[in-house]
Structure 1
Amino acid sequence: MMELDILRFIQSFHTPFLDQLFEMITILGESSLIISIILGIYWCIDKTSGEYVAYSLFSSLMLNNTVKNIVKAKRPIGEEGIRSLRVHTATGYSFPSGHSQAAASTYGALYLLLKKYKYSIFFILIIILVGLSRLYLGVHYPKDVVGGIIIGSLMSYITYRLFVKVENRKLLYLLTLLVFLPAIFNSSSDFARSIGGYSGFVLGIWFEMRYVNFQLSRSVFRRTMCFIIGISSLLSIKMLFSCFMVETDYAKFISNMIISFYGFGLYPYLFNKVSLRSRIN
């Protein structure tokens, strides 16, 4: 009851402006935006940094959905006096909050890379606001948000230490996948998406290392075009899957694996080919 009282208190300040504000803030913890940020880093700023942040995010998402399927906590949606907004993002069980955990594992990873105090304040603020947005929108209890932030922060640190210490990253990625494979026996649609995305990431990194080894362009224009074309093509592929693929866990696994493989492996290969031809011509 106390947690519901906290939600009702937070929602007592609701206004149309705050509704829109918190719906925008919560997007900062959604996979589509976060993966776009990660791929922007990977394609245009620093390949190794993008690879680490992706490893932190995907590992955290798999853990999040594993814990959710074990705990099976009910959401506050439908409780008396609770307004629930943006409910289409509230998939699966409640604990821990996926948005809060994704934000903590991603923006925590970015802080670990930058290691500057001024950035820590900025990233902590984003993480707290994303967590608060899930409470304001009435889709999580306070314990879900706190748990998500703690687990996500721990995952960003653990994956950072592993990424730095383990020289054979392909082996590290494979072992991480094996750790989470038993969870398929207690699976969900969200877990299928997360393990599919991670599998595509691993295949994409392997493909890029073996066949591509793309180098970042010195041209700001080329980097900008790389990002715009890459995100546009990813969105197009995602839309095609949503239009023509059946809604099954297996289909979600395959579609997320292909999208992730395209982003981390195939697109750098294609962009390299086009860039090389334009230089020759």
Structure 2
Amino acid sequence: MLPTGALSISEVSPRVARAWALAAGLAALLWTIIVVSGWTDGFDRALMIRAEALRSAQPWLVRPAWLVTRAGDGEARVVFALLVGLALWRAGKGGRALWLWLSVGSGLLLVPLLKMLIDRPRPDLVVHLDKVSNASYPSGHMAGATILGMSLLLVLPRGPVRLALLIYMLLVGLSRVLMGVHWPSDVMGGFLVGACWALALYGLLGTIERWTTTRVSRASR
């Protein structure tokens, strides 16, 4: 069970969260336009070549990168969200558990739709060290890790977990470039999309908590 002190909700108000969500959404839209227009091609190719040189010079990095990228898989994110959600539920925070599951679950539907709409090809400069089956932009691993990480930062904002979540998001993004399956701009796009989605859904937390409290009150009568 999670300690009560760790369940204190972030001091970020829904109004502030909506403002940040709007800013992240506009940044994601602008970045997408820049990427689709080809303005990041030189930047992307230069960094991909550097990533290839790094993994050739330091082959031991490939295995840790593969493990990190597995931690960013949709299945891993769902399992982690389920476990944290169950802990929240047992601690009497059912509304936050439902909100966390909604955030992570809806992200699994959002990113494939964006990939289909933008349909950017995967990197063609280096050998792929991971299996891929859909388009490149935005990075689904990065978007999903950001949605999970930011959602947990809002629900579990105190203690060393904050730093661990930030490191998790950063490493997942870096691993996708090192594995050769995403352009760096895909990772940035995934971060912006994930941040926008998590912050936008934060506004629903109060409503879900009130609904959950009402349901529990009625069931206890």
**TM-score, length of structure 2 as denominator length:** 0.69
Deviations 1:62-102 (A, max 9, x none): 221111111111111xx24x121112xx2211110000000
Relative to structure 1, the CA distance from residue 158 to residue 169 in structure 2 (aligned partners, 3 Å threshold; closer, same or farther) is farther
1:217-228 counterparts in 2 under 5 A?
Answer: none
Does 2:68 correspond to 1:21? no
Which residue in 2 is equivalent to 1:36? 79
Alignment coverage as a number of residue pairs: 168
Which residue in 2 is equivalent to 1:95? 137
Relative to structure 1, the CA distance from residue 100 to residue 169 in structure 2 (aligned partners, 3 Å threshold; closer, same or farther) is farther
1:1-281 counterparts in 2 under 5 A?
Answer: 1-2=41-42, 3-14=44-55, 15-46=58-89, 47-76=94-123, 79-80=124-125, 82-87=126-131, 90-116=132-158, 118-165=160-207
Counterpart residue identity of residue 130, structure 2: R
Native 8 Å contact 1:100 1:127 kept in 2:
yes
Q: Indicate the SS of the match to 1:75.
A: coil
**TM-score, length of structure 1 as denominator length:** 0.55
Separation of aligned partners in 1, 2:114 and 2:66: 25
Counterpart residue identity of residue 127, structure 1: M
Native 8 Å contact 2:69 2:141 kept in 1:
yes
Counterpart residue identity of residue 119, structure 2: K
Separation of aligned partners in 1, 2:120 and 2:211: 35
- Structure 1, gaps ≥5 residues long: 171-208, 214-281
Native 8 Å contact 1:42 1:48 kept in 2:
no
- Give the percent of matched residue pairs that are identical in Structure 1 and Structure 2: 24
Q: What root-mean-square deviation, in Å, do the aligned CA atoms of Structure 1 and Structure 2 show?
A: 2.3
Separation of aligned partners in 1, 2:117 and 2:99: 27
- Structure 2, gaps ≥5 residues long: 1-40
- Per the TM alignment, residue 145 of structure 1 is displaced from its structure 2 partner at its CA by 0.4
Deviations 1:7-26 (A, max 9, x none): 11022111332110000011
Counterpart residue identity of residue 83, structure 2: G
- Per the TM alignment, residue 115 of structure 1 is displaced from its structure 2 partner at its CA by 2.0
- Per the TM alignment, residue 44 of structure 1 is displaced from its structure 2 partner at its CA by 3.8
